[in-house]
Structure 1
């Protein structure tokens, strides 16, 4: 009874301490993964994934948009297969003076590659891509067998 009065219910603080330890471990994992990715020559933006990509769909196609600031169409390679899109390229940033001291360095340069599994089969012959204002937009038509069909009830 005296223990409970002085220190609170046993286990209440212990659970909070475990939660704090788990959060600290997650932060450390993110920190060390960022160092590992940079030392391996990978480009990391935000959560360590570049470029940031959105994938959406309607009944006829999938739409992929990727943020690629500073990347030209000549620096991109886009490949599609039955249900996979691979986006690769190189982000180039102009060099600063050799004696430049950074106060903050968040813009990285280098090669990148993302392979994305699409939810269904695609028509690889009719894929279209465009790059405007640093945003790559890819329209990927669905294969005929992947499109929904209206069935008439008799």
Structure 2
């Protein structure tokens, strides 16, 4: 029996996106616009997502569960101090991060916890068979 080539299209796109992000990652020196370093761990009973967001405040970060995925958006506007000189290089004026992490299994939306400490966001998502839907996550 021939396999339908479109059955695994979503997995293929995830793998290609991951390879693209790796190729544009920190080691290459190129940087991925709108990207940030994210780790996703499966501890058996929960998923733990860790994201590097240095320089952001918790008010700058919007974190949601939407349709079986964790959606992270952060935006900041850094006002550079003009000390009477001209900029030789200016890269810190505004930065926006947007990431979406597809979760392999449903999670307990009410049990999700998020903390932000020293520029690192950690989101703990307990596994649970449940229904899809959007849910706002508070960051402490």
TM-score where L is the length of structure 1: 0.56
The gaps in structure 1 that reach 5 residues or longer are: 1-29, 31-44, 146-154
SS, match of residue 125 in structure 1:
helix
Structure with more helix by fraction? 1
Give CA-to-partner distance per residue, 1:96-137, whole Å, 9 cap, x none: 3285222x4454623332111112111111110000000000
Cross-structure match for 1:64: 49
Give CA-to-partner distance per residue, 1:62-112, whole Å, 9 cap, x none: 00111001101111111013520001121232323285222x445462333
Structure with more strand by fraction? 2
Q: Which of 89, 92, 96 is the matching residue for 2:74?
A: 89
The gaps in structure 2 that reach 5 residues or longer are: 1-23, 25-29, 131-140
Q: How many residues are paired up?
A: 101
Bigger relative contact order (CA 8 A; separation at least 6): 2
Q: Which of 53, 60, 77 is the matching residue for 2:62?
A: 77
CA distance in 1, matches of 2:71, 2:86: 36
- Larger Cα-atom Rg: 1
1:115 aligned onto 2:104:
no
Give 4+ residue runs of structure 1 displaced > 3 Å after superposition: 104-108
